[in-house]
Structure 1
C-alpha cells in the first residue's frame, strides 16, 4: 500500500499539470502584467475581503456597501482578462470540490453525509 502523503503529492502534481490549472496560471500572469487589470482585480478582492470580514464579525453590510460590491463586480466582469480569470477560478474550484468530495467518502461511511441529514 502506498503512503497516503505520496498519493497526495501525486494528486498535487496532476492538478498542477492540468489544463485548468495551466489556464488559470496563464491568466493570472497576464493580469499581473496589465497594470489596469491588476489594480481593478486588487480593488475588487479587497472590497470582497472587507465585506466578508464584516459578515464574519456579525456586522450587517449596508445597502450602500452591497451596491458598491455589485458595481465593482459588474466593472471587473467587463474586463475580458478578469472575466476569464474568474471563470477559470470557478472551474478549478469545482474540480477541487469534486476531489474533496471523493476523498471524504470514507468518512461518510462512518459519520454519514451531512448534506443528507
Structure 2
C-alpha cells in the first residue's frame, strides 16, 4: 500500500486548523489585534522577542539594557489579560505541534535507535 505523505500532511494541517487549540489561538489573536493599543503592545513584545532570539542564535551579546527592557515588556504584557491568554494559547499550540513532531519522528528514532543498539 502506497501512502502519499503530502496528502497526510495536508490532512494534518486541516485537522490543526479545526482543532480547539488553534481555534482558541485564532480568536484571541483576532481580539488582541482589534484593539489598537493591545496590538501595539503585543507587536512590541514580539519584536523584542525576535530581536533577542536572533542575537542569541548569531552569538551576539545581549546587553543588560536589552534584558531589562525585555523584562519590563514581559511584565507589562503579562498584566494584559487578552495578551496573556493569547500567549498561553500559543504555548498550548506549540506543545501540541511538538507532540505531533515526536509522533512523526518516531520511525526515524526507532531506526537509528535500533542501529545504535546493534
Shift of 1:18: 0.6
2:46 corresponds to: 45
Please give the secondary structure, in 2, of the residue aligned with 1:58. Answer: coil
2:70 corresponds to: 69
What pairs up with 1:1-117 in 2 under 5 angstroms?
1=1, 2-112=3-113
Structure 2 length-normalised TM: 0.90
List runs of 5+ in structure 1 lacking aligned partners: none
- Which 4+ residue blocks in structure 1 deviate beyond 3 angstroms? none
Aligned length: 113
User: Which deviates further from its counterpart, 6-15 or 93-102?
Assistant: 6-15
User: Which deviates further from its counterpart, 57-66 or 31-40?
Assistant: 57-66
Shift of 1:59: 1.3
Provide the aligned C-alpha RMSD in A: 1.3
Structure 1 length-normalised TM: 0.91
Q: Distance in 1 between matches of 2:68 and 2:28?
A: 28
Q: Deviations over 1:38-59 (max 9, x none)?
A: 0000111111111112222211
Shift of 1:112: 2.6
User: Which deviates further from its counterpart, 65-74 or 87-96?
Assistant: 65-74
Q: Distance in 2 between matches of 1:11 and 1:55?
A: 32
Q: Distance in 2 between matches of 1:102 and 1:94?
A: 13
